[in-house]
């Protein structure tokens, strides 16, 4: 425990005179004024809709709708799904009106890069299976190489399953022979 003379060993802060106190008060007042001014400026900007754009273009300028959608697609990484969706809309132009009348794209698996197409008859399903390599090449030419690796062709759906008291247990009905 320090003795009575230990306090005198410690250096004391000099007593501030009136001029020094006035300087400190002036510095504190300036800092408070700057803070109030910044808060008032932020309120004004919020009231009028945020910062305004100057003479040069920047990220806050309004965009045409198409450019805004393209920017959103790029930022979210939706390029491939959007391109494939465009293919679904342009299907008749890509495959021709006759094929498009009988074969319709159903879904696209982005992970496996497989496009599934449903045909209305087994003859058209066979025809599309024969055309699949050329169609994959055409789609990759439009969408970018490797976007579609395989076209899965589905034939027509079988007849509706009927359930009732005259069914044998485990039987799937007329679909048994279609495999």
Q: What is the mean pLDDT of the chain?
A: 76
**Residue 173 in this model has a pLDDT that exceeds 70:** no
Whole-structure pTM value: 0.48
Tally of helices (H runs) and strands (E runs) in the chain: 7, 3
Q: Which helix (H) or strand (E) holds 8?
A: helix 6-9
How many angstroms separate the CA atoms of 109 and 12, rounded?
A: 78
- For residue 130, the model assigns a pLDDT of 92
Query: Residues 89-109: pLDDT tens digits?
Result: 778 888 888 888 988 888 888
Task: Using the predicted structure, report yes or no on whether residue 3 has a pLDDT greater than 60.
Answer: no
Q: What residue segments make up the domains of the chain, in order of their start? A: 102-159
């Amino acid at each position: 425990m320090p003795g009575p003379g230990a306090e005198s060993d410690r250096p004391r802060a000099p007593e501030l005179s009136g001029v020094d106190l006035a300087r400190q008060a002036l510095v504190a007042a300036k800092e408070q004024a700057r803070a109030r001014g910044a808060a008032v400026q932020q309120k004004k900007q919020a009231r009028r809709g945020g910062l305004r754009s100057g003479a040069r273009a920047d990220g806050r300028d309004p965009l045409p709708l198409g450019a805004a959608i393209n920017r959103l697609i790029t930022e979210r990484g939706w390029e491939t799904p959007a391109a494939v969706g465009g293919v679904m809309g342009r299907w008749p132009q890509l495959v021709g009106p006759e094929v498009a009348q009988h074969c319709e794209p159903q879904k696209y698996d982005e992970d496996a890069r497989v496009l599934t197409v449903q045909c209305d008859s087994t003859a058209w399903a066979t025809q599309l299976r024969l055309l699949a390599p050329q169609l994959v090449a055409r789609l990759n030419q439009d969408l970018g190489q490797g976007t579609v690796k395989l076209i899965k062709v589905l034939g027509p759906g079988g007849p509706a399953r009927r359930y009732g008291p005259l069914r044998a247990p485990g039987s799937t009905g007329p679909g048994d022979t279609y495999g």
